[in-house]
Amino acid sequence: MAHQNDLETTPLAPQPNAFWLGETDLWLLAEGRHLRPWEKLGAHPCSLNGVDGTAFAVWAPNARQVGVVGDFNHWDAAHHPMHLHRSAGVWELFVPHLGPGALYKFAVQGVHGGAPVFKTDPYALRTESGAGHACVVMRLPPCVTGAQAPRPQKQALHAPMSVYEVHVGSWRRPNGQLPDWTYLAQHLIAYVADLGFTHIELMPINEHPFYGSWGYQPTGLYAPTARYGTPEAFRDFVACAHQAGLQVILDWVPAHFPSDAHALAHYDGTALYEHADPREGFHRDWNTLIYNYGRAEVRNFLVGNALFWIERYGIDGLRVDAVASMLYRDYSRAEGEWIPNRDGGRENYEAIALLREVNQVVGVQAPGAITVAEESTAFAGVTAPPWNGGLGFHYKWNLGWMHDTLAYLALDPVHRAHHHDRISFAMVYAYSEHYVLALSHDEVVHGKGSLYGKMAGDHWQKLANLRILYALMFAHPGRKLLFMGCEFGQKQEWNHDAELQWGVLQDPAHAGLQKLVRDLNHLYRGHAALYARDDEPGGFAWIDVHDRSQSVFSFIRHGHGAHQQVAVVCNMTPVVRHGYRIGVPQGGAWQEILNTDSTHYSGSGVGNCGRVQAEPVPAHGFSHSVVLNLPPLGVLWLAPEHAA
């Protein structure tokens, strides 16, 4: 097939009686039951009636007329009017001799007439770089199959999961410029793999017009943003991650979309993808529109998109943004500013049905792929299966743990004795969902400062408190997530317009924190007690949760078998505790497998020489106990010798 530059300057004539859409396609699209709508809607190079060209199809049921415009017809809508299939509200046209690389848009004359508006293709697979917002004809990426084989084992509920969250445009900026996927495949993946993470999570990489939205206001749900290179380069990036042993999670945003005139808003002159009533269809918090989840074609667009990234790019999981805003009709709205559901309540039944359908489709069509909910309320059953009344997510972010733990570590240690429950409370609900402990980008933006800045004390104490935070997170039940830059204690709040503050690694204390994160990841993955029973009450037990006066916590993680045990002791004050006795489940030698106060991490070096012997002295309900030196603002991990 030819690119536009290889064609004659005369606009290409449409092919008469060449239809891309069959009756079954039209019926499924109208019903919102086309499992893979991207295979038919959008722009597809193909051969019809023995002629090579590109088939275009777009849903715009209320438009008076729709045409295809592009660099192949001088952006003149009169040359390529489309044919309407009224049964599905879909317009289509086959343009012969037009191939990949051509720029295009749809010229949509709305329901009320007037001049046509140039709109992007909702199903565009590629977009041009720059401000033109044109779509680019490309072939569907082939299905990814080879990298999926280890996915079910690597992402099982009993497997270790440690996630590095990344905004790719501000991780590194080579020569002060945005990185591309080739650079990121070479540098980012090697870095994340070296630190021992199991997953990399990308903040949204769908096409979005406003860079400052970080991708959370997408206009091209089916197109990787052109800012970082071609779709093929992104696909290669994902393949490179798989080769390095990493799984890839993509942030996915079905909660809202921007009102830019060139995109989905008022697509055919009516509220097509959104609600007409702003009480249902507008987010004042973000000045964005809300999808009409009850409309079959909109639901099909979103459900299909979830499956698309997994099947066509090899994505291993989706983290669904702003789920709470979807679940409740009164989200961030005052009385009288929202419309109740059919039963007079606040739950958004249509959004709930959409989320269940997404999770069911992903579960059936992509075994081993996961979905993760960023859900900030106490909505019941987020990770329960749909057939049992749940939403069907695999995991939910534990934002309660995050808020309580950060609030505790922001306190001067002298006051921590009075807030002991902020650390212990998370265990009250730890098994109500399958949780991810997330220290995400949300905690280091909008004036919140950095994690380093949130910690109490001087420079040494701030880093010691960060070492406590990370060692506690990796020992606590739940999967782990850490935002980029937090692994070395970036001092500044995250800035999407600049690269991370890599210069702080010249300070041995910050470099020591990075070493700790690497060791935590490898210890976590090497000791099944720390992950194998995250969702079972039998996987965790307090040793002593009552030592408020000294602000010391101790607990034990259990795996399967007597040797899958890790004892964790946290001293939340800068006072060294000598001769501190805790009970342990068995006698023999216990190795000090982690000491956050080690000089290796720029700590003070207080510890237990790497090994202690359990004595037959009962304590805390156990038949044996060990006597420890607790380092200041430090965490110890102990394991029976030969434990794994």
Judged by phi (left if over 0) then psi (alpha if -120 to 50, else beta), residue 107 lies in beta
Residue 490: how many other CB atoms lie within 10 Å: 24
Contact (Cβ atoms closer than 8 angstroms) between residue 452 and residue 490:
yes
Strand, helix or coil for residue 365: helix
d(CA 120, CA 197): 37
Contact (Cβ atoms closer than 8 angstroms) between residue 127 and residue 225:
yes
User: What contacts 316, CB < 8 A, 6 or more positions away?
Assistant: 151, 154, 155, 199, 247, 248, 249, 310, 368, 369, 370
User: What contacts 435, CB < 8 A, 6 or more positions away?
Assistant: 395, 396, 397, 398, 401, 477, 478, 479, 534
Whether 615 is catalytic: no
Contact (Cβ atoms closer than 8 angstroms) between residue 464 and residue 413:
no
Residue 314, exposed/middle/buried by CB under 10 A (0-12, 13-18, 19+)?
Answer: buried
Contacts of 455-458 with CB under 8 Å at 24 or more apart are 455/409, 455/410, 456/409, 456/410, 456/411, 456/412, 456/413, 457/412, 457/413, 457/574, 457/633
Query: Amino acid letter at 81?
Result: P
Contact (Cβ atoms closer than 8 angstroms) between residue 104 and residue 120:
no
d(CA 82, CA 90): 9
d(CA 632, CA 606): 8
Catalytic residue among 165, 374, 519, 592: 374
Catalytic residue among 321, 443, 534, 592: 321
Q: Give me the helices (H) in 373-475, please.
A: 399-409, 421-424, 451-454, 459-475
Tokens 């795996």 correspond to what residue? 559
d(CA 191, CA 618): 45
Whether 493 is catalytic: no
**Phi, then psi, of 170 in degrees rounded to 5:** -130, 15
Residues with a catalytic annotation lie at 321, 374
